[in-house]
Amino acid sequence: MTTAPDKDRVWIFDTTLRDGEQSPGATMTHDEKLEIAELLDDMGVDIIEAGFPIASEGDFKAVSEIAERSRNSVICGLARANFKDIDRCAEAVKNAAQPRIHTFIGTSELHRAIPNLTKDEMAEKIHETVTHARNLVDNVQWSPMDATRTEWDYLCRVIEIAIKAGASTINIPDTVGYTAPMESADLIKRLIETVPGADDVIFATHCHNDLGMATANSLAAVAGGARQIECTINGLGERAGNTALEEVVMALKVRNDIMPWKTGIDTRKIMHISRRVATVSGFNVQFNKAIVGKNAFAHESGIHQDGMLKNKETFEIMRPEDVGLSGTSLPLGKHSGRAALRDKLGQLGFEVGDNQLKDLFVRFKELADRKKEVFDDDIIALMRSGEDAENDFLQIVSMKVVCGTGGPAEATVEMEIDGTDNSATMSGDGPVDAAFCAIRALYPTEAHLQLYQVHAVTEGTDAQATVSVRLEEDGIIATGESSNTDTVVASAKAYVNALNRLIVRRGKFGEGADAREISYKDIT
């Protein structure tokens, strides 16, 4: 992908593991990153931005191992415009079959003021750093951060410098989600027409969703001549998120009549990876989210239902199967066997080993005893709730809650802390508050509860509750999630899940702020 671009092909550059993880609380473990990278590689993503190697030892190791394991995708690491970052990035991606270094610097007037560089000083820095990266790998991507707010003449000047220094991909970031579709298309078109050497490189677009136009801006950029879209699964990312991979890919597929460009994505794998990213990041997909939301293929209006019964095409522009949704959602029950459960898991996109199936089947039977019918969403919730690591620092062993109108609620929680069982009984303003108080008594923390959210997995009074909890401590944010037919149990497990992720995140960032600044300052 260092040659002239294929005019009919749009390369998909996924940055879920880098820019997506910048979303506050969206921490992924090492193993989770490896799993998501494997799914991205398998579904046909062209370039995987696996992380920011200089940010931490954990990020470096994740990028290195993803590079070694990749089969098809280009593996890319991010580096700021200095030799130390670039060298570290090159070391991390060196074992990839197709390594790439993505280096960047903020070129707008606002961003030039941060390092206090003149235009000429920054231009020289771009020449030196892109040249250095090109001497280490054949495939170099360069980004002028905040490109959409950079002066036109200067933007052209620095892009020409980067091309001459050896960059084969020029990414144009809308770092703060500022642009609009017409402007996005015009900017790419004008750059390709104006900058010497532009015909020999791939122009990319990287859009944020602050004004809700990331997908539209990315597709407009393609119309203007961009041939790489930077995006994330579920639109995950800082602030309002990034361009959603599933949206741009399905838009190009469904409306190929007016957007005659192709991708290499196997769209049937979209729903599975969407669910996995939601699980490991702790960020649920909103019900009305395009393509992958729970309501994306639901029809409640009487007129819509009547039309769907007569002809699905009246109100569906794509088939559920196109994105990996099962055509049917027949429930399982307490008499269903392991073969039926394994078959259902396969329909939902999950591949499980014998040991995992054995554990899941036990929990499935327990759930089936409490519910009349176990639906697809229940199975997905079971998969999610069963993924708490056995070696988590904190694990709930048992709980007992007393509540009602006669007095304050009281919760007794037995919890394993680093392998040792401890218990505490506390009262609170309701059963959930009492349970949280008991957990804090066992594991004192100053973490502030930023978010507590409950939603039913399916319909009915016997539905499982999925609870999301977000905690913040000293600027570090972590999210936890759990599901159970008992809302209080789900709440306590979600709280402990978030605490465990907070512990991991503390280890990642250390006690000071330096590591956080490296991870989040000046990122495209």
**DSSP class per residue in 110-151:** HHHTTTT--HHHHHHHHHHHHHHHHHH-S-EEEEEETGGGS-
Question: Which amino acid, residue 346?
Answer: G
Which of 72-76, 245-249, 391-395, 472-476 has the least mean pLDDT? 391-395
The encoded tokens of residue 394 equal: 């904190």
Give pLDDT tens digits for 367-403: 888 777 788 878 877 776 655 555 688 989 999 999 9
Q: What is the DSSP string of 298-328?
A: ---SHHHHHHHHH-GGGT-SS-GGGGT--S-
Please check the confidence at residue 295 and state whether its pLDDT lies above 80.
Answer: yes
Residues 33, 51 contacting (CB under 8 angstroms):
yes
Q: Three-class SS of residue 288?
A: coil
Q: What is the DSSP string of 40-97?
A: HHHHT-SEEEEE-TTS-HHHHHHHHHHHHH-SSSEEEEEEESSHHHHHHHHHHHTTSS
Mean pLDDT for all residues in the chain = 88
Question: Which amino acid, residue 252?
Answer: L
Please check the confidence at residue 18 and state whether its pLDDT lies above 90.
Answer: yes
List Cα–Cα distances, 521 to 23, 125, 188, 236, 283, in angstroms.
Answer: 13, 18, 26, 18, 23
Whole-model pTM: value is 0.82
State the CB neighbour count (10 A cutoff) for residue 271: 22
Residue predicted with more confidence, 12 or 502: 12
Residues 346, 360 contacting (CB under 8 angstroms):
no
Task: Say what the pLDDT of residue 63 is.
Answer: 98
466: exposed, middle or buried (C-beta count within 10 Å: 0-12, 13-18, 19+)? Answer: buried
- Sign, CA torsion 142/208/476/35: negative
List Cα–Cα distances, 153 to 124, 157, 187, 417, 454, in angstroms.
Answer: 16, 6, 12, 60, 51
H or E segment to which residue 60 belongs: helix 57-69
Mean per-residue pLDDT for 204-220?
A: 98
Residues 499, 476 contacting (CB under 8 angstroms):
no
Q: Three-class SS of residue 467?
A: strand
Percent of the chain with pLDDT over 90: 63
Please check the confidence at residue 255 and state whether its pLDDT lies above 90.
Answer: yes
Please check the confidence at residue 3 and state whether its pLDDT lies above 70.
Answer: no
Question: Which amino acid, residue 493?
Answer: K
Total number of residues shown for the chain: 524
Task: Say what the pLDDT of residue 399 is.
Answer: 93
Pick out the residues of the known binding site.
19, 206, 208, 242
458: exposed, middle or buried (C-beta count within 10 Å: 0-12, 13-18, 19+)? Answer: middle
Domains and CATH numbers, the chain: 11-281 (3.20.20.70), 302-385 (1.10.238), 394-509 (3.30.160.270)
Please check the confidence at residue 305 and state whether its pLDDT lies above 50.
Answer: no
Mean per-residue pLDDT for 456-463?
A: 80
List Cα–Cα distances, 211 to 172, 177, 188, 239, 402, in angstroms.
Answer: 18, 6, 20, 11, 47
Give pLDDT tens digits for 56-72: 898 999 999 999 999 99
The encoded tokens of residue 275 equal: 């669910």
Please check the confidence at residue 517 and state whether its pLDDT lies above 80.
Answer: no
Q: Regarding beta strands 409-417 and 394-402, do their DSSP bridges make them parallel or antiparallel, or are they unpaired?
A: antiparallel
Distance CA 76, CA 98 (A): 9
**59-95 burial, b for 16+ CB within 10 Å, e for fewer?**
bbebbbbbbeebeebbbbbbbbbbeebbbbbbbbbee
Residues 472, 452 contacting (CB under 8 angstroms):
no
Pick out the residues of the known binding site for Mn(2+).
19, 206, 208, 242
Please check the confidence at residue 520 and state whether its pLDDT lies above 60.
Answer: no
Which of 414-423, 480-489, 511-520 has the least mean pLDDT? 511-520
Mean per-residue pLDDT for 251-264?
A: 97
Which of 104-108, 218-222, 229-233, 274-278 has the least mean pLDDT? 274-278
List Cα–Cα distances, 147 to 77, 109, 490, 521, in angstroms.
Answer: 20, 10, 45, 17
| The most confident of 208-217, 323-332, 418-427, by mean pLDDT | 208-217
Q: Regarding beta strands 140-145 and 99-106, do their DSSP bridges make them parallel or antiparallel, or are they unpaired?
A: parallel
| The most confident of 4-18, 228-242, 299-313, 462-476, by mean pLDDT | 228-242
